[in-house]
A and B are shown apart, each in its own frame.
Chain A
Amino acid sequence: MPFMSSAANFFTSKMSEALGWARKYSIFQYPFVTACCGMEYMSTAAGHYDVDRFGAGFPRFSPRQSDVLFVVGTISHKMAPVLKTVYDQMCEPKWVVAFGVCTCTGGFYDNYATVQGIDTIIPVDIYIPGCPPRPENVIDGLMKLQEKIQKGEQSRTLYDPRTKIGRPASLAQGYSISQHMKNIEASL
């Protein structure tokens, strides 16, 4: 961490740390909203949960001006090339947040039309599962993203469904309703 001296009016820092610090508190997000998770995204962004406290309150609707791609909602195979294009249009450094279980693994849309996890087409930095995730989950994910930005880390790899490499182990199995019910019972 930088050393600050109020008496001598100077502080020491590493350039990369200073950059990371600046970046993590000025996240310009691109909300790629396709489905019902959008409601939860809106309530996170609005005054009650106030994502602006984390410096991420400024959505940009141009990929050229944004740092973080929020993929919010189910991505169909027809939509996949659009998402890839938007990702490719963003300038470096860039991060991707998979918001909701549909973007993480496809969720319960195990069918002909849905991409089984956006990490098969673009690298994902933070996974926020949930159907939809509560705003607290989203803010938790956002803070984990800030840690990642501070360290200067970026995800560069895709998930390969054949080898099952490249996705967090907790997500690799996909969503299981029976396990979910057991978790709820255990938490009561």
Chain B
Amino acid sequence: MTPLQRVQEQFAKDLIETHTFRGDETLIIRPQALKAVAKFLKETAELDFNFLMDLTAVDYLFFAGGRIQKEFRFEVVYHFYSLKTNHRLRIKVPLAEDHPEVDTLTDLWPGANWYEREVWDMFGIRFKGHPNLKRILMYEQFQGHPLRKDYPFNRRQPLIGPPN
């Protein structure tokens, strides 16, 4: 049984979609279930996903000609890896435009701390329960979140000196 099938069996009602492409397994799940699924992946002995490889986000604002619904504007993407079984699993969590918030994974994988700060900084997605959710790349006085698709690419916010 692959990790994907294990999760399908355990969390059938929280899944939105799953797919597999050449052995790359992806789960799309509801944000409320993220914490439970992540805990299951990490703490089940034969799965043992002990490594959070990557945590990032996507803004689908203008995707498909802007026809993406507001409930699916953002997607947080997690890549898990098990050093013991050599399995990989990708989890995507769609988030709504008006309330982009999801549970933090810092208590399960401490390495999620800076990833989540980066996603907050660049996309403005909040992580509930994060111990220190503040900007990591931009400076504190910076307004907005630059990797959102509605952030004008030519807007300048200089810390000192005249605007460019």
Contact = CB atoms under 8 A, between A and B. Distances in A.
B158 A112 contact: no
Instruction: Say what secondary structure dominates the interface of chain B.
Output: loop
Given A77-B139, A78-B138, A78-B139, A112 B160 contact: no
B2 interface: no
A120 B146 contact: no
B160 A81 contact: yes
B161 A80 contact: yes
A168 interface: no
Interface string B46-84: 000000000000000000000000000000000000000
A153 interface: no
A161 B138 contact: no
Nearest to A119: B161
Interface residues of A, number: 19
The 7 closest A-B pairs by CB, nearest first: A116-B164, A121-B161, A112-B146, A120-B161, A78-B139, A77-B159, A161-B164
19 contacts: A78-B138, A80-B158, A80-B159, A81-B160, A110-B154, A112-B153, A112-B155, A113-B137, A115-B161, A116-B156, A117-B164, A120-B158, A120-B161, A121-B160, A158-B162, A160-B162, A161-B162, A161-B163, A162-B162
